[in-house]
A = this chain, B = another copy of it.
Amino acid sequence: MKVFHKINPLKDVLNHHRSNSLKIGLVPTMGALHKGHASLINRSMNETDVTVCSLFVNPIQFNNTRDLDTYPRTLEKDIHFLEKLGCHILFNPSVQEMYPYPPVVEFGFGEMEKSMEGAFREGHFSGVALVVAKLFNLVKPHKAYFGQKDLQQFVIVEKMVKDMNIDLELVCAPIIREESGLAVSSRNQRLSEAQKALAANLYKALQLGQQLLAENHDISSVKREVSNFLSQWQDICPEYFEIVNTCTLKTVDYMEDGKEVALCIAAYIGSVRLIDNIIFKK
């Protein structure tokens, strides 16, 4: 695997591949890689000729310094992990390389970022959009792979790509879970075993919500039941539980046949903030 810390040599190599008509796949990550990332890398390896994994903890998408400071950083392990998967290129730039001067451009996504992550993490999606736009322009991938776990991020990036006519195909890959149901996440590294067991209840809460929707309970009673279910554990601090339209991300007031919704949750387990979701169609 070739490792690049600088933009220009990366671009030279990718231009060369592109001029040989090779298809490029991009998997943007913030490192601390796990089997969720592996599923994206494997998919890119199957569907393209050259897989680029970017590993960059993007400071401008963190509204909370503590979250940024404690975000797991495991570069040596990540390199080993990517080599075992057969990934072709790792792009691991410094903050200075990505932001040689403070950026001015800000992105807004209207209603789409008013709920959920956007509501609780101010400026988050502007920071995500900028780093994703930069990576798209640097790597110029034919396909880019994102995980469904960050569903709001995926829907917003998809909207950005369409609105801006960015010339690539986006792939949203399914959430990978532990046997307990816990969605795999880099942040899980910060959980004790007991906390991991507790955190598995977030998925159980989503499953409960899905079951109630399937049984035609109305949205407000589903929300109440899910909230009641989670209130059993005082060490789970829910931040939100929302049922949203998967295209617009708007909160859904009632279910419509054939309309896809996402049940989305965010909660703290100790100081670790976790998110998860299920997509459901009646």
A-to-B contact residues, CB < 8 Å: 7, 11, 103-112, 126, 129-130, 133-134, 137-138, 140, 159-160, 163-167
Contacts and interface: CB of A to CB of B under 8 A. Distances in A.
Nearest to A21: B19
Interface centre among A104, A112, A133, A159 (most CB of B within 10 A): A104
Contacts of A160: 105
Is chain A's interface secondary structure helix, strand, loop, or mixed overall? helix
B159 A137 contact: no
Contacts of A110: 104, 106
10 contacts: A7-B165, A104-B163, A105-B108, A105-B109, A105-B159, A106-B108, A130-B163, A137-B165, A137-B167, A138-B167
Contacts of A165: 7, 133-134, 137-138
A45 B56 CA distance: 40
How many copies of this kind of chain does the complex include?
Answer: 2
A142 to B, nearest CB: 13
Nearest to A138: B165
Q: Top 10 A-B pairs ranked by shortest CB distance?
A: A106-B108, A105-B163, A103-B163, A137-B165, A134-B165, A133-B164, A104-B159, A104-B110, A138-B165, A137-B166
A164 B104 contact: no
Contacts of A133: 164-165
A109 B109 contact: no
Contacts of A126: 108
A105 to B, nearest CB: 4
Nearest to A109: B104
A193 to B, nearest CB: 42
Contacts of A140: 167
A167 B140 CA distance: 10
A107 B105 CA distance: 7
Nearest to A161: B137
Nearest to A105: B163
A188 to B, nearest CB: 32
Nearest to A167: B137
A156 to B, nearest CB: 8
Interface centre among A7, A129, A163 (most CB of B within 10 A): A163
A135 to B, nearest CB: 8
Contacts of A137: 164-167
Nearest to A159: B104
Contacts of A129: 105
Nearest to A15: B167
A140 B138 CA distance: 13
